[in-house]
Structure 1
Amino acid sequence: MVRLVFLCIVLFTVECTAANPVPKPDYLQVIAQAACSGVIGAESAYIWAVPRDCSATGDGMTCEQVCQEHQSALLDQTSSRRPNVFCFDAFQLHFIRTSEMDYTKTYHYQRVQGCSWRANHCGPNYCCCRTPY
């Protein structure tokens, strides 16, 4: 009887560890998505927070271009085809860890400044893209 109980415990443990772990969310992505969703207001729209490489050796795109570059993939996520995707806002988010605390710093660029911020220059690292509902 003791052997059988031991065998069941071992099998259960193997099943639990063999399963794929639940992926941890990218917290900056979650915050960016919430920020983009929050600034849209009462207007109906599909909204995405799309990462942008703002480093000096980045992707060479403005947020307007980032939204256009990902348009096909984003539109495929909607229930029916929409006409287009465009930038409506932008944010810069950074996770900062100090010896005293961890926090996220956010800068809100707004549409005119953020969507056209020059490429390969530190500015928005998340582009708020949308399509009309």
Structure 2
Amino acid sequence: MYFYNSLLICLLAVLFTSSDAASLSYNYFDEMAQSYCTSQGVGEWVFAIRRNCIGKSPRCNSICLEQRENILKAINGQRNSVACFDAYHVRKQHARLRVDSSNTQPDAGKVNMITYGYGSKGCSWRPNHCGPNYCCCKAFNS
């Protein structure tokens, strides 16, 4: 019985660890995009909204406008307009650096993350073509 309980605990640990790891990675890119968009918008409510690079990908201008109601609701109607002001690409396939568990920075000096900020031109990036995978939307009073 002990063997089976131990086996079950190990299997559950693997399942939860792998799902948590995927979840952390999944959110990490969203957080990077939100940080980028926030750094570009001053004195505004800012939202990084995912843009699909495969299949039908609308312009960021359209994505921000489509999310107008949700954006304004998220900020309790403190503004009345929404627009795209920038776009951002996070390359999700990148080198993995070794874990730094001893404060020695084991992979110091190595290239890791790759990102690209499009500026306002990214808002009108052509539809159905991969480019920015995040749209930077802002809420403001017109």
Deviation at 1:108, TM superposition (A): 0.8
In structure 2, stretches of 5+ residues that fail to align are 1-19, 99-110
- 1:75-128 Cα offsets, whole Å, 9 max, x none, are 1011335212100000011123447668321011000x2000011101110000
- Output the CA distance in 1 between the equivalents of 2:59 and 2:77: 27
The residue aligned with 2:130 is: 122
Unaligned runs of at least 5 residues, structure 1:
1-21
Partner of 2:101: none
* Identical columns (%): 33
The correspondence of residues 33-112 of structure 1 with structure 2, limited to 5 A, is: 33-40=34-41, 43-55=42-54, 57-58=55-56, 60-98=57-95, 103-111=112-120
Counterpart residue number, 2:15: none
Measured in 1, the distance between the counterparts of 2:35 and 2:96 equals: 27
More strand by proportion, 1 or 2?
A: 1
Question: Retained in 1: the 8 A contact 2:51–2:60?
Answer: yes
Aligned CA-pair RMSD: 2.6
Contact (CA 8 Å) 2:97, 2:112: kept in 1 or not? no
Question: Given the two structures, how large is their TM-score scaled by the length of structure 2?
Answer: 0.67
* Residues 1:76 and 1:99: Cα distance change in structure 2 (over 3 Å): closer
If you compute each CA radius of gyration, which structure gives the higher value, 1 or 2? 1
